[in-house]
Chain A
Amino acid sequence: RKEVEQDPGPFNVPEGATVAFNCTYSNSASQSFFWYRQDCRKEPKLLMSVYSSGNEDGRFTAQLNRASQYISLLIRDSKLSDSATYLCVVRGYGQNFVFGPGTRLSVLP
């Protein structure tokens, strides 16, 4: 089983749509969880950390279910500028991150 798995995508949605991304991780000892976004041929940029109680940042909501080893990201009212690849990232006891393969989102006018 892969360490971090994500919806394969791509997701093509119209502007204004709500879209949800799912992620599962295999290591139950994982400590920290993040969503990064990556534009084509650019570096990953931190979108938000994911906390056990769930957290929201504007149009973005992240949820964590430790029992199911599942993370989600909800984007409401999609904008054209949200088009990117969304990376689920997990940290174990060590310092390094394990990246999921990413889910590509295209928001269409």
Chain B
Amino acid sequence: EPEVTQTPSHQVTQMGQEVILRCVPISNHLYFYWYRQILGQKVEFLVSFYNNEISEKSEIFDDQFSVERPDGSNFTLKIRSTKLEDSAMYFCASRDGLTYGYTFGSGTRLTVV
């Protein structure tokens, strides 16, 4: 079964540092997403991406966040200057153009210290 792959599985970073979380969506999928889940809380939408541009973003996705699809296969989330409250599990997801069900990657656990 096709998978969404995320790397790294766990990243520890110091407050104020930049991090890049990487995702390889399923190859024929057209829509890409980032969600996050703070430990013990619900999954929250960050951003959606289609046709090489952001289609929607939440209030969480402020100027510190950016996304990119640099080479047609990778989909990255960058956090410019991490804060303690950015510590969470970050999930990448993708879907094809025919159905609305997402496939999620296994997530990157980001710990900001």
Q: Which of B48, B91, B107 contacts A95 (CB 8 A)?
A: B48
A57 close to chain B: CB less than 8 A: no
List the A side residues contacting B103 at CB < 8 Å: 46
Chain B binding surface SS class: strand
Q: Are A99 and B101 in contact (CB under 8 A)?
A: no
A94 close to chain B: CB less than 8 A: yes
Q: Are A96 and B91 in contact (CB under 8 A)?
A: no
Q: Are A41 and B100 in contact (CB under 8 A)?
A: no
Chain A binding surface SS class: strand
Q: Are B42 and A97 in contact (CB under 8 A)?
A: no
Q: How large is the interface on A (under 10, 10 to 19, 20 to 34, 35 or more residues)?
A: 20 to 34
Q: Which of B42, B48, B56, B102 contacts A100 (CB 8 A)?
A: B42
A44 CA to B99 CA, complexed, in Å: 17
Q: Which of A43, A46, A100, A101 contacts B101 (CB 8 A)?
A: A46
Q: Are B43 and A32 in contact (CB under 8 A)?
A: no
B33 close to chain A: CB less than 8 A: yes
Interface residues of B (CB under 8 A from A): 31, 33, 35, 41-45, 48, 50, 55-56, 58, 89, 91, 99-107, 109
